[in-house]
Amino acid sequence: MSDAKLGRRELVTLIGAAAAGAGLVGRARASAPDAKPAAGGKTPWVYQPLEPDAVAERAFASYAKGHCMYGCFESIVGTLADRAGEPYRSFPFDMFVYGAGGVAGWGTLCGALNGAAAAFQLLSAKPQPLVDALFTWYEREPLPNYRPRGAKFPDVKIAAGSPLCHASVSEWCKAAHKKTYTPERKERCGVLTASVAREAVVLLNAQAAGRTIPAAFEKHTEECMSCHEQGGAQENSRGKMGCSSCHFSLGTKHTPL
Amino acid sequence: MSDAKLGRRELVTLIGAAAAGAGLVGRARASAPDAKPAAGGKTPWVYQPLEPDAVAERAFASYAKGHCMYGCFESIVGTLADRAGEPYRSFPFDMFVYGAGGVAGWGTLCGALNGAAAAFQLLSAKPQPLVDALFTWYEREPLPNYRPRGAKFPDVKIAAGSPLCHASVSEWCKAAHKKTYTPERKERCGVLTASVAREAVVLLNAQAAGRTIPAAFEKHTEECMSCHEQGGAQENSRGKMGCSSCHFSLGTKHTPL
């Protein structure tokens, strides 16, 4: 049969079925003003345990394309996209270029941590313990602790003492005797992105396996928080960052750190 | 005519055209393993000028649902979603809850700024001047500068001197004589989110209208950057944050700030 004779109703039904089968009707409905959120609208999305070293390698490669925040986030959620398709695949990954250099070079939050925190919230029903564990690890661990296959320069390990890009880069420049905008420092931040993405996956896997995620705050920071954070006598501040990375001197009101 | 007589080729063409017209073909192709990025994969997405005060009101309401980063981002991109539908509508907005309190209470980057920077990268082909302008404005402007209709407590304006949540909250607590976890401080961060979202839209609108976006760094910070940032004699650091909000004392190597 080379011709088809169809009633108008049958034709409409056929086009409708073809569209619905590929999700078109759902999307069209989602565009209506009073619609419920579409598939991508509710988090967390399903997490499937990933291989930490493979994600670290991908993070190093993705850093070269879109810097630290993009590199970390894309290595985790992009791997899930390759495995599971939508809604992961349609996520606008390029958006996370913004976190580079602590957001457009401002030196605020390390972009790798910013990207990991975004991935935690997207993929976990309980992201805060993951953030606490990753950020305290980043402050205190001599990093990088993973060497991607494509790395050229020798590792110079430092414990940043802070989740901030400014402190992390400054400490590294001092230890490595290299300037900020050298190929060595640029590669270092890619290698660091690989280490952070790897640790983020280790934590996501542990939580997915039902294990408790511990976070060990620095002793000095806990002392400061006990007075200045929630429930403390002062309660006049907010934060969990290592205090001594900014409060170099506490003046006469405190004993020296 | 109640019947249609169509050849097989015409029928396939008709169904294909109906599907392509609604973006179905693009999405189906994007799900294939070797596919190019889907519609949501490439940025920037189209920006349409928004009404700053309306976005500010929405930011205050969204802050109550998902805190500062969510509130700022959702007020901008959610307004575009209401207007234009996909791909904005399927974005997983809930993800940006993570930025609350400078990321899960860590006091790093102010969540409203983090959300605005994400929106800038998603909606602008040239986001860096927008970030520079918004962050310098946040550091130096006595904020909040917009009062949402639902605000209950009197405004206490401060210039944070820093884009960091920790500094912003601490300065406010000192000026307002209120503790961190009081209803007044919580509302203050919502009112601040409204001010930031409003200014972000003012900047996006200006850029969309072809105007140049100026950023005026603090004089002391520019002096520090001239030596410690790119091209400086030291070039041993990275950042554009107001230096004096952390470097309270510069020791004997520098003249006092």
Q: What is the mean pLDDT of residues A204-212?
A: 97
User: Are residues A127 and A101 in contact, defined by beta-carbon separation less than 8 angstroms?
Assistant: no
**A18, two tokens:** 């073809």
- Cβ contact A236–B173 (<8 Å): yes
Q: At what angle do helices B52-84 and B111-123 cross, to 10 degrees?
A: 50
Report chain A's terminal Cα–Cα distance, integer Å. 87
Has residue A65 got a pLDDT over 80?
Answer: yes
Residue A6 parent element (H or E): strand A3-7
Distance of CA A152 to the CA centre of its chain: 25
**B30, two tokens:** 């994007």
The verdict on A156 touching B (C-beta cutoff 8 Å) is no
pLDDT for position A253? 65
Task: State the Cα–Cα distance between residues A26 and A43, nearest whole angstrom.
Answer: 18
Task: State the Cα–Cα distance between residues B18 and A48, nearest whole angstrom.
Answer: 35
Q: What is the mean pLDDT of residues A170-189?
A: 98
Does A218 or A156 have the greater pLDDT score? A156
pLDDT for position B251? 62
Nearest Cβ partner of A43 from B95, B120, B180? B95
- Cβ contact A237–B180 (<8 Å): yes
Q: What is the mean pLDDT of residues B50-61?
A: 98
Does B12 or A196 have the greater pLDDT score? A196
Q: Which 3 state secondary structure label does DSSP give A241? A: coil
Task: State the Cα–Cα distance between residues B78 and B80, nearest whole angstrom.
Answer: 5
Q: What are the Cα distances from residue A71, in Å, to A142, A223, B153?
A: 20, 35, 42
pLDDT for position A241? 92
Which B positions 62-101 lie with beta carbon below 8 A of chain A?
Answer: 82, 85-87, 89-99, 101
- Cβ contact A238–B108 (<8 Å): no
Has residue A6 got a pLDDT over 90?
Answer: no
Which DSSP category does A60 fall into? Answer: H
The verdict on A239 touching B (C-beta cutoff 8 Å) is yes
- Cβ contact A104–B117 (<8 Å): yes
Surface-to-core class of residue A244, CB atoms within 10 Å of its CB (0-12 exposed, 13-18 middle, 19+ buried): middle
- Cβ contact B6–A8 (<8 Å): no
Considering only A86-100, A166-180, A212-226, which range has the smallest mean pLDDT? A212-226
Q: What are the Cα distances from residue A236, in Å, to A226, B143, B154, B163, B178?
A: 11, 18, 19, 18, 7
Q: Could you read off the pLDDT of A88-132 as tens digits, one per residue?
A: 999 999 999 999 999 999 999 999 999 999 999 999 999 999 999
Q: At what angle do helices A8-21 and B8-21 cross, to 10 degrees?
A: 50
User: Are residues B79 and B107 in contact, defined by beta-carbon separation less than 8 angstroms?
Assistant: no
Q: What are the Cα distances from residue A3, in Å, to A146, B4, B8, B143?
A: 63, 11, 6, 70
CA angle B38, B44, B45 (to 5 degrees): 70
Task: State the Cα–Cα distance between residues A82 and A78, nearest whole angstrom.
Answer: 6
The verdict on A28 touching B (C-beta cutoff 8 Å) is yes
Which B positions 119-148 lie with beta carbon below 8 A of chain A?
Answer: 120-122, 127-128, 131-132, 135
| Closest to A30 measured CA to CA, from A84, A79, A90 | A90
Cis peptide before A144 (omega within 30 of 0): yes
pLDDT for position B74? 97
Considering only A178-182, A236-240, A241-245, B248-252, which range has the smallest mean pLDDT? B248-252
Question: Which residues are bridge partners to A6 per DSSP?
Answer: B4
The verdict on A222 touching B (C-beta cutoff 8 Å) is no
A&B contacts, CB < 8 Å: 287
| Closest to B94 measured CA to CA, from A29, A118, A34, A103 | A118
ipTM over 0.90? The verdict is: no
Q: In A, which residues are within 8 Å of B109 by CB distance?
A: 102-103, 108-109, 114
CA atoms within 13 Å, Cβ hemisphere of A182: 17
Task: State the Cα–Cα distance between residues B10 and B7, nearest whole angstrom.
Answer: 5
- Judge if pTM exceeds 0.90: no
User: Are residues B117 and B76 in contact, defined by beta-carbon separation less than 8 angstroms?
Assistant: no
The count of other CB atoms within 10 Å of the CB of residue B141 is: 15
pLDDT for position A221? 87
- Cβ contact A30–B86 (<8 Å): yes
Mutate which of A45, A88, A103 to test chain B, going by most B C-beta atoms within 10 A? A103
Q: For residue B102, give the chain A residue with the closest CA.
A: A239
Residue B6 parent element (H or E): strand B3-7
Has residue B32 got a pLDDT over 60?
Answer: no
- Cβ contact B117–A103 (<8 Å): yes
Confidence of residue A216 (pLDDT cuts 50, 70, 90): confident
Confidence of residue A218 (pLDDT cuts 50, 70, 90): confident
The verdict on B253 touching A (C-beta cutoff 8 Å) is no
Q: How far is A246 from chain B (nearest CA, A)?
A: 5
